[in-house]
Structure 1
Amino acid sequence: MGDLEIRPATTDDVPAIVAMLADDPLGAQRESPDDLAPYLTAMERLRADPNQHLVVAVRGERVVGTLQLTIVPGLSRRGATRSVVEGVRVHADERGSGLGSLMMEWAIDTSRREGCHLVQLTSDNTRTDAHRFYERLGFTASHVGFKLTL
């Protein structure tokens, strides 16, 4: 994977990121690649927050992966800082290549550098392949998650 770079995402990367977010049955229901305006607004909020790390994996000039890492200071666990990984996506052409593992390695290493004591993530109940992937990386399914749509 020598020709691979993981770098902060830019506004120019938004179309490729949104296309990857939409490229599965769940994403197809909730993403709108034809209207990038809300994504560009979100990108500005992310760039203004130093606890947000939206990155892309780039091979050559092509965006082939993305994830968002959020650093969350807290009081629980003896004042531990934790990180939350969201929106992990690998382009369909790259799945099974080890790219997902490299991106998660980046997220874990960055979390350590940021002083985090815990890396956490959620994954939809239907994403059984993703669950196996995270378990292979050492994550444990330790909690039940809840969401409230506003």
Structure 2
Amino acid sequence: MLIRPASEADLTDVINLLNYMDGEEGIDEDKAQEIWRKISDYPYYKVFVAEAKQKIVATCSLIIIENLGHQGAKLALAEGMIVSPEYRGCGLGRQLMQFVLEQAKKENCYKLMLSSNKKRVEAHNFYLRQGFQQHGISFMIDV
């Protein structure tokens, strides 16, 4: 398996993977390309992909955020972590999450956090097995 930064050429594959998580059709190609260009303007927003047999089968984004709290220590946010259903259970997700964690450590982040929908119990169990701890309470409001 190869883990690497995604390129714009990978966008269709990344969108298709994210559709598994959302359970619906994702954004169209033009909108995705527009967002991809905006992401490249962020100081640190990287989309990583995992390839198996020259096919993209997993993705996870990593956003590093500067922080005034915690004595200026940066924090990392993992977003859009998904493994193609046919590759689940073979250790690929663990390897991708470990890769993302190592990237956060290299950037001297004090924590790596993520959020997951309450309905995704299987994903929660996966994160617990990777050493994540449920911490605090997350709140959101639709805007």
TM-score by length of structure 1 reads: 0.89
Which AA in structure 2 matches 1:86? E
Which residue of the partner structure matches residue 141 of structure 1? 134
Matched, 1:6 2:3: yes
Which residue of the partner structure matches residue 73 of structure 1? 66
Which AA in structure 2 matches 1:32? G
Which residue of the partner structure matches residue 124 of structure 1? 117
Q: 2-side partners of 1:143 and 1:45: how far apart?
A: 31
Q: 2-side partners of 1:102 and 1:116: how far apart?
A: 19
Shift of 1:32: 2.3
Q: 2-side partners of 1:42 and 1:143: how far apart?
A: 30
Q: 2-side partners of 1:59 and 1:119: how far apart?
A: 26
Matched, 1:90 2:83: yes
Which residue of the partner structure matches residue 28 of structure 1? 23
Match of 1:60 among 53, 56, 62: 53
Which AA in structure 2 matches 1:37? D
Q: Unaligned regions of 5+ residues in structure 2, if any?
A: none
TM-score by length of structure 2 reads: 0.93
User: Alpha carbon RMSD of aligned pairs, Å?
Assistant: 1.4
Q: Are the counterparts in 2 of residues 56 and 67 from structure 1 also a CA contact under 8 Å?
A: yes
Matched, 1:17 2:14: yes
The secondary structure found in structure 2 opposite 1:23 is helix
**What is the total number of aligned residue pairs between the two structures?**
143
The secondary structure found in structure 1 opposite 2:80 is strand
Which AA in structure 2 matches 1:84? L
Q: 2-side partners of 1:138 and 1:121: how far apart?
A: 13
Q: 2-side partners of 1:74 and 1:32: how far apart?
A: 31
Which AA in structure 1 matches 2:107? E
Which AA in structure 2 matches 1:64? V
**Per-residue deviation, residues 123-145 of structure 1 (Å, max 9, x unmatched):** 11111111111111111111211
- In the TM superposition, structure 1's runs of 4+ consecutive aligned residues that sit over 4 Å from their partners are none
Which residue of the partner structure matches residue 49 of structure 1? 42
Q: Are the counterparts in 1 of residues 3 and 48 from structure 2 also a CA contact under 8 Å?
A: yes
